[in-house]
A = this chain, B = another copy of it.
């Protein structure tokens, strides 16, 4: 995002900002690795949350001091208890708060007084419960902000860090340590996942239940973890992102170093409704979320299973260099299934090179298939797997490797797992496995888990995880693109919008909209406003025939329907007559309409009709749309979106990723369309949106596009303003 003016900040303010930023970051760090923890609301009653959390912290092996806070107890679980946080003798970096709602504010005030860096507020009954709770939540944030203290929650399950180690949550199960950092806007989902992972290969470095996100958000955590070596991949369950701008910056930076995989729930209308009733948060449109994920390199998955399948692969495997996949299998059927999945996911199974084929032929029985999938037959023992893997690994053309095993008569399950583990040791490509079966493959699956090789019970899921690696690696390799700034007539637009505000217009008329659009270098037909028939005829002659006449009135939106439009006027006489007729028709149909005049436009020759649109998303701000016009946008919904500002690469991609893109490339004997003209229009609209946030919607519909080097012209435009 390029700013026109750097913010002007005094040296003093800057120091203070840096101090605050430093403290804010220390607050985040204190969530995961505090020096000392207080449990406010610790209880002697073992069935109470305050007792459970205290026990979880201590059982997790947390190395620092733990202080139970309870005004009515001297000792809890053998530890000396203190009546309030301010009474604790040493520093308290982190407070876990489980007192009733109305007691939370005084606790936070105490924490602030004590210099506590962060508080985890488990207590519920805040924003999610209605306006009273929301006000109480706001009060907490005020106190915390003033003291530079960070808050997680309220209404959350807490935090786990397997490295520290610290389980400051009420999830009883401390997960296996490994590279996945799990962030969840649903606490219950998080605990279910931790429980689920106990029987699987998933290991976590962190788990954060975000709760109401009164202060700390997923974006804060991405900022923190960007440089945290214990985080190999962040997996997030999200229902709504509170600060779209922060997310874009944070996710983009994070993804440049390690991957963020997201399941965004509420992607359908019904799902969004369910999420709203559950969190009270207002979600932006799914198109905006999709654009945000796409533009930040965030990997979006559609199911919980896919989230963890991908996280497992990212947490254990290197990134692939391309989209190649090599399958080694002892059964044909599963390999066909895997090939279908690969094809659907855009992975390619290149046949091995001639030298590799020769070597395979010398190893394998003649009925084996040495193309890719490489079917080493049902009687393959571990030795055959090893020999084939050696050959495949020696071929630089080999892509990511998927080894499929079904338990057959001569299958050596555990030994084959050992072969794969050994193969992985000196391999820079991803290696995953699909040992299919239950008890018959258990020993192999266990060995794979211990060796850091993801195993998927079905080959499609293995392929899905590899495809996630490939998509992310693609993004990492792609140049980031550039937000170009064009020389434009910003003052002109400012003047028009000022006039609009003065007049109280929320929708600009076509004439003023064209002025705005033209000021940003987007071609519009030549045209001007005529007040009488003679002026219209004169303007038409100057513009050149044929022309179009359109009534200009702030009171008329659908001009054609009231007889306010006449096209294809070829002579001055036609223009004069059309002027009179339009005026009469409009006055008759909308007698109250204020008519400013009738605009005379050059008539654009036919070309490919496209649409460039701009809408305002509550989460992410301006969202830009591109597609072909008419039924393509209205019925087929064949459109693509980006958040503003768009880079040159984004704009170019947009013209290529609609389904109807071949139409622009030139088909059925038509020349290729002027794609460069479209991308320039997209980028200029983006610049306009950045410069004038007051613009609510802008539709260039149609933007007629001509053959290469012949440009594009916005023949009609509609602009509305935020009031």
Residues of A participating in the B interface, judged by any CB pair closer than 8 Å: 49, 52, 128-129, 170, 172-173, 184-189, 191-193, 195-200, 237, 239, 263, 265-271, 273-275, 277-279, 302-305, 330-337, 339-344, 348-349, 367, 369, 371, 373, 375, 378, 406-409, 436-441, 457-461, 630-631, 634-636, 638, 659-660, 662-663, 667-668
Contact: A336 with B271, CB < 8 Å?
Answer: yes
Contact: B304 with A458, CB < 8 Å?
Answer: yes
* Smallest Cβ-Cβ distance to A348: which chain B residue: B270
Contacts of A239 on B, CB cut-off 8 Å?
A: 333, 336
Known pairs A304-B460, A340-B267, A636-B659; A196 contacts B436 (CB<8 A) = yes
Q: Given B188, B198, B278, which contacts A369 in the complex, CB threshold below 8 Å?
A: B278
Contact: A279 with B332, CB < 8 Å?
Answer: yes
Contact: B460 with A173, CB < 8 Å?
Answer: no
Known pairs A631-B667, A667-B635; A278 contacts B332 (CB<8 A) = yes
Contacts of A662 on B, CB cut-off 8 Å?
A: 631, 635
Contact: B275 with A336, CB < 8 Å?
Answer: yes
Can you show 8 pairs from A to B with CB atoms below 8 A apart? A172-B440, A188-B332, A188-B334, A189-B436, A191-B408, A270-B340, A635-B662, A635-B667
How far apart are A279's CB and chain B's nearest CB, in angstroms? 7
Contacts of A344 on B, CB cut-off 8 Å?
A: 268
Give CA–CA (A635, B658) in the complex, Å: 11
Contact: A340 with B271, CB < 8 Å?
Answer: yes
Known pairs A188-B331, A336-B278; A195 contacts B438 (CB<8 A) = yes
Contacts of A440 on B, CB cut-off 8 Å?
A: 172-173, 195, 198
Contacts of A336 on B, CB cut-off 8 Å?
A: 186, 239, 265-266, 271, 274-275, 278
Contacts of A333 on B, CB cut-off 8 Å?
A: 184-186, 188-189, 237, 239, 265, 278
* Smallest Cβ-Cβ distance to A337: which chain B residue: B265
Copies, count: 2
Contact: A631 with B663, CB < 8 Å?
Answer: yes
Give CA–CA (A332, B184) in the complex, Å: 12
Q: Given B199, B274, B406, which contacts A439 in the complex, CB threshold below 8 Å?
A: B199
Contact: B334 with A270, CB < 8 Å?
Answer: no
How far apart are A586's CB and chain B's nearest CB, in angstroms? 20
Contact: A660 with B638, CB < 8 Å?
Answer: no
Give CA–CA (A185, B279) in the complex, Å: 48
* Smallest Cβ-Cβ distance to A342: which chain B residue: B270
* Smallest Cβ-Cβ distance to A375: which chain B residue: B278
Contacts of A49 on B, CB cut-off 8 Å?
A: 409
Contact: B186 with A441, CB < 8 Å?
Answer: no
Contact: A369 with B277, CB < 8 Å?
Answer: yes
How far apart are A47's CB and chain B's nearest CB, in angstroms? 9
Contact: A339 with B268, CB < 8 Å?
Answer: yes
